[in-house]
């Protein structure tokens, strides 16, 4: 008879708004995890995991895992290593970093992002270590910083309706988000709303699997969403559909906005820019303003363009103009991450940073500009001599790949990578260190898509000699002789530092209660309608700043996305958004994901294919002045003409030519927030070979 399995509660660590609660079944005899499933008791998980994380055991027990420290034997990029001991690895690293730091610690660049979103494994001991060292600071802008800045400047608080509120909506817009791929746990709530008659609109240049299931697909031209929102606001003011009472009590400069949109943003003008019929813009505005409650789920698609900040501001202004924030199931959600009373300073300890003569902090390097930062030809003062990568795979995922790869290939660059797998970046490491998966480590999580707190206890012992991020930086700090007591904090101590447990929204939540009962919702009012009575900027009576506030531009043009975007033209706008079976570049090296995604694809409209002599199923080359990659053409009316779609992020080693879509994306930044402009990218497409 098989022994009774133990159930351990874990949290999905990936960069995804759903932050699922996972039940891991562990065989008490073999101590192996034998099953993962979505927690049926956690409302926002709803008892199911996505197609990727259902395979988490394949990831955890993969034969391809890095299980021991290694040092490079072949050339950079070849991926040849030999096993060394942890002592050897830590000695080499501390010796090298110590020597560089003695001259100028800012020549050391840490590089991390989204491998795990756990509060202690990503952003505690690691940050303490690099702060204490005086290393360059990394501006972590690759994903959300543009939208964050736009929300900070307008509504001032990164919160919105929680997922369950969407079931009460009568009108839902999914704006620049492929919900069924990247936020699938919102779908059951959307489905409930539709069962009660709600209308679903998807605004996306690609007819994604989400758009296919909507009542209306709005194929906006990439990078022009601000124009669409402004055209809608024009119609709403013009036709007396604005909530003047709400605007008067809870916003600033509504009269300025009204005058500007009435003058400049007619539906005809918006139509010219967005490539949508003016009548469609009018109809959308009318139904959005009339069907109540009206909810918008805005995600990252719109902010990966140069004008992303202006776009997010214009969209987030819509619920204020129609007073949608008043209703349960109304408003707009981009991120819920500011709902939590986290204590990032206690975890990160910025006070450990050595300051310059004028109290200046070490220099800040924008992670989207890694290519530039590593370029020895540019006057980067000081030149980066050591790169330390964890929780990230910049060789595959950072824009302007040729620049990144030339930097990584520099013989004079000392490179350390801590990862679970030999990623494209790991192949360039001088020292490669084995990282644990979430099943082998301790963590605590907030979410950016709901408002629950979740605790992750290790389900199994670390495999091989793998260690977690906290343990790695504890060991390195000891090796380097850092004496501050905070470098000896245990994981349990770090958990207690992660939140302000005395904050009213943490009432009833403790490590003990999380262990006993599983995930807990913050003690916020139910329904959580954060701006029902204003309260923007989190101040009593604080007022929303609207699009165009204080002279800010209402619309910022894309740099490349609509360059000759009317087909047939020579340049096409490339959108390389998340593939269904990948999660950024995680899972891109695993069997089941590769079997499902098969090969890099390029969706192209029949008109654009025909004018280029491209047939369905043919290999094509996609290129511009920065680089090139290849994919298999899928000729489809599911993309707007003038636009091509390359689901991402492929591991380079799994592509026909060792390059993925980031070979053509650029290091240009968004209008505000220093964000990446992945989808603001003009390319040529031609038959390969
Ligand atoms: N063309 C294009 N490029 C993109 C995007 C796009 O849409 N299109 N999306 C961008 C976005 S939004 C993001 S967020 C980035 C992120 O892109 P990536 O850097 O690829 O991020 P992830 O895949 O989240 O994880 C990076 C690595 O962290 C490792 N890892 C996981 N857990 C741990 C851990 O506990 N410790 C350590 N040391 N390592 C761990 C994983 O194995 C993985 O190799 O990609 C960006 N790049
Ligand atoms: N399966 C899966 N899930 C993921 C990820 C993954 O890689 N795979 N990545 C995770 C991460 S790190 C993030 S940041 C989130 C991202 O989450 P989302 O932002 O929801 O990402 P996508 O699902 O690609 O949705 C973005 C959509 O925007 C569209 N788009 C591109 N340009 C424009 C534009 O100018 N205007 C409009 N309106 N739409 C545009 C794209 O075609 C795409 O369908 O997903 C997370 N979840
Ligand atoms: S990736 Fe997202 S949907 Fe999938 S299990 Fe993790 S949190 Fe849930
Ligand atoms: Mo992201």
Name the closest ligand to CA 122. 1
Residue 278 corresponds to which tokens in the numbers above?
């003016």
Provide the token pair at 165. 């509120």
Give CATH for domain 572-687: 2.40.40.20
Q: Give the pLDDT confidence score for residue 1 in this predicted structure.
A: 52
Nearest CA to ligand 1 atom 25: 115
Query: What is the spatial distance between Cα 334 and Cα 583, in angstroms, rounded to a whole number?
Result: 19
Looking at the CA of 588, name the nearest ligand: 1
Portion of the chain with pLDDT greater than 70, in percent: 98
Ligand 2 atom closest to the Cα of residue 648 is 7
Q: What is the pLDDT of residue 3?
A: 72
Number of residues that make up the chain: 689
pLDDT tens for residues 439-451?
999 999 999 999 9
Provide the pLDDT for residue 570.
Answer: 77
For residue range 512-557, list pLDDT tens digits in order: 999 999 999 999 999 999 999 999 997 777 999 999 999 999 999 9
169 has a pLDDT exceeding 70: yes
Does residue 626 have a cis peptide bond before it, meaning omega lies within 30 degrees of 0?
no
Q: Is 678 in the pocket of ligand 1 (CB under 6 A)?
A: yes
Residues contacting residue 103 through CB under 8 Å, at least 6 positions apart: none
- What is the CA angle 438-440-446, rounded to 5? 35
Closest ligand 2 atom to Cα of 579: 8
Q: Which atom of ligand 3 is nearest to the CA of 54?
A: 5
Ligand 2 pocket residue status of 114, Cβ below 6 Å: yes
* pLDDT tens, position by position, 596-613: 999 999 999 999 999 999
User: How many Å lie between the centroid of ligand 3 and the Cα of residue 213?
Assistant: 21
- DSSP-derived letter for residue 167 is G
Report the nearest-CA residue for atom 12 of ligand 1: 143
Determine whether the shortest distance from the Cβ of 580 to ligand 2 is under 6 A: yes
Residues 6+ apart with CB under 8 A from 233: 257, 261, 265, 285, 314, 317, 318, 321, 547
pLDDT of residue 565: 46
- Ligand closest to 447 (CA) is 3
Q: In this structure, which CATH number among 3.40.50.1220, 1.10.10.10, 3.40.50.10490, 3.30.200.210 belongs to the domain 6-60?
A: 3.30.200.210
CA–centroid distance, 556 to ligand 2, in Å, is: 20
Show the beta-strand stretches assigned E in 469-618.
520-521, 544-545, 572-575, 601-604
Average pLDDT score over residue span 456-468: 98
Name all residues whose Cβ lies below 6 A of ligand 3.
12, 14, 16, 18-20, 49-50, 52-53, 184-185, 583
Which ligand is nearest to the Cα of residue 55, counting in written order?
3
| Mean pLDDT value of segment 231-255 | 98
- What burial class does residue 37 get, using C-beta atoms within 10 Å of its C-beta: 0-12 exposed, 13-18 middle, 19+ buried? middle
For residue 247, pLDDT over 50 is answered with yes
Q: Is the pTM of this model over 0.95?
A: yes
The pLDDT score that the predictor gives to residue 541 is 75
**Which of 341, 393, 422 shows the shortest CA–CA distance to 112?**
393
Q: How many Cβ atoms are within 10 Å of 54's Cβ, its own excluded?
A: 14
Q: Which range is least confidently modeled, 561-575, 648-662, 667-681?
A: 561-575
Taking CA atoms only, the protein residue closest to ligand 3 atom 3 is 50
Among protein residues, the one with the nearest Cα to ligand 1's atom 46 is 397
pLDDT at 193: 98
The neighbour count for residue 168, using CB atoms within 10 Å, is 19
Ligand (nearest to CA of 114): 1
Question: How much is the average pLDDT of 160-175?
Answer: 98
**Ligand minimally distant from the alpha carbon of residue 304:** 2
Say which ligand is closest to the CA of 299.
2
| pLDDT score of 652 more than 50 | yes
Any ligand 2 atom below 6 A from CB of 557: no
pLDDT of 127-159, one tens digit each? 999 999 999 999 999 999 999 999 999 999 999
Q: Which long-range contacts (CB under 8 A, 24 or more apart) does 35-39 make?
A: 35/5, 36/10, 39/9, 39/518, 39/519
- Taking phi over 0 as left and psi of -120 to 50 as alpha, with beta for the rest, 472 belongs to alpha
Q: How confident is the model over 193-214, as pLDDT tens digits?
A: 999 999 999 999 999 999 999 9
What distance in Å separates the CA atoms of residue 405 and residue 428, rounded to the nearest whole number? 9
Does the beta carbon of 582 sit less than 6 angstroms from any atom of ligand 1? no
331 pocket-lining for ligand 2 (C-beta < 6 Å): no
Ligand 2 contacts CB of residue 206 (under 6 A):
yes
Note the CATH architecture for domain 160-334+528-551: 3-Layer(aba) Sandwich (3.40)
CA of 48 to the centre of ligand 3 (A): 9
Cα of 30 vs centre of ligand 4, distance in Å, is 36
Angle at the Cα of 402 from the Cα atoms of 399 and 404, rounded to 5 degrees: 60
Q: Which residues contact 357 (CB under 8 A, 6 or more apart)?
A: none
**Domain boundaries defined on the chain:** 6-60, 70-142+342-454, 160-334+528-551, 572-687
Question: At 263, is the secondary structure helix, strand, or coil?
Answer: helix
pLDDT tens digits along 269-302: 999 999 999 999 999 999 999 999 999 999 999 9
Q: How far is the CA of 300 from the centre of ligand 4 (A)?
A: 8
The overall average pLDDT reported for the chain is: 96
Q: How far apart are CA 643 and CA 279, in angstroms?
A: 22
Q: Which residues contact 109 (CB under 8 A, 6 or more apart)?
A: 135, 136, 138, 365, 373, 384, 386, 387, 388
Q: How far apart are CA 168 and CA 276, in angstroms?
A: 29
**Cα–Cα distance between 597 and 512 in angstroms, integer?**
42
Between CA 651 and CA 660, with CA 655 as vertex, the angle to 5 degrees is 65
Atom of ligand 3 nearest to the CA of 185: 3
Q: Rg of the chain's alpha carbons, rounded to an integer?
A: 25
Bridge partners, residue 22, by sequence? 10, 38
Ligand 1 contact, 15 CB (< 6 A): yes
Mutating to test ligand 3, I would choose from 9, 10, 12, 163 the residue with most ligand atoms within 8 A of its C-beta, which is: 12
Tell me the CA–centroid distance for residue 649 and ligand 1, in Å. 9
CB of 302 shorter than 6 A to ligand 2: yes
Beta bridge partners of 644: 574, 604
Half-sphere exposure of residue 629, counting CA atoms within 13 Å on the CB side?
31
Atom of ligand 1 nearest to the CA of 143: 12
Contact 224, 559 (CB under 8 A): no
Instruction: Return the residue whose CA atom lies nearest to atom 45 of ligand 1.
Output: 397
53 CB near ligand 2 (under 6 Å)? no
CATH numeric code, 70-142+342-454: 3.40.50.740
> Rounded distance, CA 232 to CA 286, Å?
8
Strand bridging mode 294-298 / 331-333: parallel
**Angle, alpha carbons 49-647-371 (nearest 5°):** 110
Average pLDDT for residues 108-121, to the nearest whole number?
A: 98
Which of 9, 13, 16 best tests ligand 3's pocket when mutated (most atoms within 8 Å of CB)? 16
H helices of 134-243, where? 145-154, 179-182, 187-195, 209-212, 225-238
Q: What pLDDT, on a 0 to 100 scale, did the predictor assign at position 561?
A: 66
């Amino acid at each position: 008879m098989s022994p009774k399995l133990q159930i351990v509660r874990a949290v999905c660590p990936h960069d995804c708004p759903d932050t699922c609660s996972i039940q891991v079944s562990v065989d008490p005899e073999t101590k192996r995890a034998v099953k993962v499933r979505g927690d049926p008791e956690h409302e926002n998980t709803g008892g199911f995991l996505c197609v990727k994380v259902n395979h988490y055991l394949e990831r955890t027990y993969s034969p391809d895992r890095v299980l021991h420290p290694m040092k490079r034997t072949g050339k950079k990029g070849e991926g040849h290593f030999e096993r060394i001991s942890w002592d050897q690895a830590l000695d080499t690293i501390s010796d090298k970093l110590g020597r560089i730091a003695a001259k100028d610690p800012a020549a050391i660049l840490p590089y991390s992002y989204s491998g795990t979103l756990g509060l202690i494994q990503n952003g505690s001991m690691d940050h303490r270590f690099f702060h204490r060292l005086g290393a360059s600071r990394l501006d972590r802008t690759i994903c959300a910083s543009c939208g964050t800045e736009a929300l900070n400047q307008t509504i001032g608080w990164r919160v919105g309706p929680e997922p369950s509120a969407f079931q009460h909506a009568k009108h839902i817009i999914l704006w620049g988000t492929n919900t069924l791929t990247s936020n699938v746990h919102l779908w059951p709530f959307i489905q409930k709303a539709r069962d009660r008659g709600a209308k679903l609109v998807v605004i996306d240049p690609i007819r994604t699997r989400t758009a296919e299931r909507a009542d209306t697909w709005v194929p906006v031209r990439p990078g022009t969403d601000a124009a669409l929102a402004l055209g809608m606001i024009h119609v709403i003011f013009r036709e007396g559909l604005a909530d003047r009472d709400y605007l008067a009590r809870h916003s600033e400069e509504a009269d300025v906005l009204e005058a500007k949109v009435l003058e400049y943003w007619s539906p005809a003008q918006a139509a010219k820019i967005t490539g949508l019929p003016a009548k469609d813009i009018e109809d959308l505005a009318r139904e959005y303003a009339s069907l109540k409650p009206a909810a918008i789920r805005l995600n990252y698609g719109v902010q990966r363009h140069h004008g992303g900040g202006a776009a997010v501001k214009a969209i987030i202004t819509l619920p204020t103009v129609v007073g949608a924030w008043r209703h349960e199931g109304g408003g707009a959600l981009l991120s819920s991450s500011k709902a939590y009373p986290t204590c990032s300073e206690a975890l990160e300890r910025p006070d450990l940073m050595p300051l310059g003569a004028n109290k200046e902090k070490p220099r800040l390097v924008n992670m989207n500009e890694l290519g530039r930062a590593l370029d020895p030809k540019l006057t980067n003062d000081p030149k980066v001599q050591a790169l330390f990568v964890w929780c990230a795979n910049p060789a595959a995922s950072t824009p302007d790949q040729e620049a990144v790869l030339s930097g990584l290939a520099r013989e004079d660059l000392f490179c350390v990578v801590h990862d679970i797998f030999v990623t494209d970046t790991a192949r360039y490491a001088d020292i490669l260190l084995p990282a644990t998966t979430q099943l082998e480590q301790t963590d605590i999580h907030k979410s950016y898509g709901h408002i629950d707190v979740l605790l992750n206890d290790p389900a199994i012992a670390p495999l091989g000699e793998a260690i977690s991020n906290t343990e790695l930086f504890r060991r390195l700090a000891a090796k380097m002789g850092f004496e501050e007591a905070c470098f000896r904090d245990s994981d349990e101590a770090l958990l207690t530092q992660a939140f302000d447990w005395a904050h009213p929204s943490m009432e009833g939540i403790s490590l003990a209660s999380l262990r006993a009962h599983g995930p807990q919702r913050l003690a916020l009012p139910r329904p959580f309608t954060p701006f029902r009575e204003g309260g923007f900027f989190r101040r009593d009576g604080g007022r929303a700043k609207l699009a165009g506030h204080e002279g800010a531009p209402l619309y910022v043009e894309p740099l490349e996305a609509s360059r000759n975007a009317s087909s047939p033209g020579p340049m096409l706008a490339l959108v390389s958004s998340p593939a269904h079976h990948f999660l950024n570049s995680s899972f891109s090296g695993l069997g089941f994901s590769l079997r499902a995604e098969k090969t890099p694809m390029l969706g192209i409209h029949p008109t654009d294919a025909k004018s280029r002599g491209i047939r369905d199923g043919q290999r094509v080359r996609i290129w511009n002045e920065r680089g090139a990659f290849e994919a298999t053409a899928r000729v489809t009316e599911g993309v707007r003409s003038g636009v091509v779609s390359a689901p991402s992020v492929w591991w380079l080693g799994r592509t026909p030519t060792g390059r993925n879509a980031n070979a053509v994306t650029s290091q240009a930044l968004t209008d505000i927030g220093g964000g990446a402009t992945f989808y603001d990218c003009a390319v040529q497409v031609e038959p390969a070979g």
